[in-house]
Each structure stands twice: as structure tokens, then as C-alpha cells.
Amino acid sequence: MTTLEQLLTVQEHDTHLDQLRHRLETLPERTALAEHRRALATLDAETLGVQEQRDAIGRDQKRVEDEVASVEAKAAEVDAKLYSGTITSPRELQGFQEDLESLRRRQRQLEDDVLVFMEQLEPLDADLAARATRRAELATEEERLAAALADAERAVEGELDDATAARARDVEPIPADVLDRYDRLRKQHDGVAIARLVGNHCGGCHLTLSAVEVDRIKHEPPDALIYCEECGRLLVR
Ligand SMILES: [Zn+2]
């Protein structure tokens, strides 16, 4: 086998390795997981909005409930004083009586407000519960997708390991200067540095070489480095 034949085998390994790396980067499992995570992030952002709305109403409700407790305590105080028997002046008694009624009215009003808050919270709490269920489902699905991606990655990485080992074996006999040239050409020509001359076609650029050029190539010594006159890639006869 000539050096160029050996180099062509290395090229096949490199092309295969490039394809495997591309496959690894563009695994459909990776896209599926990324899309799923975006959906999760959207759900979380929306849920945060609902939660904030719920918390704001919850705080209002707590504030009014505290006020109810304070009005109730005040009413109990007035009530106790009213029936303690210590107040004898009818005018004073009437004053306390009016205070008590006013406090009771205020308490009922506030309790109605609490009911309104509770009614507002009900659908929000139901929504949050449904969201929590949905979140748990999506989290389970995320785990499944992540495991599927890990499996797919492992499979391609196994192939990469095998191809890397095969390349290392086949690159061994190739002289360093030829390899340098090969590496440079690969960078210049989209990963393909060397191709076979098929009839009068370059296997790299698929263009036809002139009859004069093909004839000249035929008369070159077997190990001479020959380049395609169209694309500049190395050619194997
Ligand atoms: Zn060419």
C-alpha cells in the first residue's frame, strides 16, 4: 500500500470522526431535551406570576383578618365594660352601646371583605395545584429525556472511541511531513484533503481533469504527491 493509499484510509477515518462529532452535537435527543426545558421554564415563569398574585391577595386577606381580630377584641372590651355594672350614667351607657354597635358593624364589613378575598383565592389555588401537577409530570418527562440523551451520547461516544483507535493505528506509518500537509489541506478544503482519482474525475471536487493532466499524473512515480489541478486536494491514483 502506498503512503497515499494509507493517507486515504486516514481521511476516511477523519471523515467518519467528523460525522460522528456532528451527530453527537446534533442528536435529536439533545434538541428534544432543550425544547422540553424551554417549556418547563415558560411554565415556571407563568406559575411565578400566578403565585405572586396569590401571595398579594393572601397578604391583603391576612391584614384584614388581623383587623377583624383587633376590632373583635375592642368590641369584647366595650361589651365587658357595658355589662360590668360599673357604668351607671344612662348617657355613658348609651355611648358605649353605640360604640359597640359601630364596632360590630365594622367587624361584619371586614368579614365580608375576607370572604371576597377567599373567593378570589379559590380559582388561583386551583390553578396553582393544577400547575404543580403539570410541573411534576414535566419533571418526570425531563428525567426520561435526559436519560435518553445520555444513552444516545454514550452510543456515539463508543463509536468515536473505536474510530479514534482505528485512526491512531492507521496513521502510524505515515511520515510526519505528509501528515502536516494533509492537516493543512483538510483545514483548507472543508475536512477533505485527499481523494481518489476516478477515471479523469477528482473524487474531492468532482470536476474533470484535462486529458493532458491525467496523462502527466500517470507518468509520475507511484509515491509522488499529486494534487488536483481544480481544487488542490491530494489525489490517489
Ligand atoms: Zn479536485
With a cut of 90, say whether residue 2 has pLDDT above it. no
With a cut of 90, say whether residue 147 has pLDDT above it. yes
Centre of ligand 1 from the C-alpha of residue 163, in Å: 26
Centre of ligand 1 from the C-alpha of residue 226, in Å: 11
> Please, what's the b/e burial string for 40-65 (b: 16 or more CB within 10 A of its CB; e: otherwise)?
beeeeeebeeebeebeebbebbeebe
Q: Report the pLDDT averaged over residues 69-96.
A: 93
Centre of ligand 1 from the C-alpha of residue 130, in Å: 63
* pLDDT tens for each residue of 163-197: 999 999 999 999 999 999 999 999 999 999 999 99
Centre of ligand 1 from the C-alpha of residue 13, in Å: 20
The mean predicted confidence, pLDDT, of the chain is: 96
Q: Report the pLDDT averaged over residues 44-73.
A: 98
Centre of ligand 1 from the C-alpha of residue 193, in Å: 10
Task: Give the other-Cβ count within 10 Å of 33's Cβ.
Answer: 20
Centre of ligand 1 from the C-alpha of residue 134, in Å: 57
pLDDT at 181: 96
* Contact (Cβ atoms closer than 8 angstroms) between residue 103 and residue 75: yes
With a cut of 90, say whether residue 223 has pLDDT above it. no
Centre of ligand 1 from the C-alpha of residue 22, in Å: 24
Centre of ligand 1 from the C-alpha of residue 205, in Å: 4
Q: Report the pLDDT averaged over residues 87-95.
A: 91
Centre of ligand 1 from the C-alpha of residue 232, in Å: 6
Centre of ligand 1 from the C-alpha of residue 175, in Å: 23
Residue (of 180, 186, 194, 182) closest to 233 by Cα position: 194
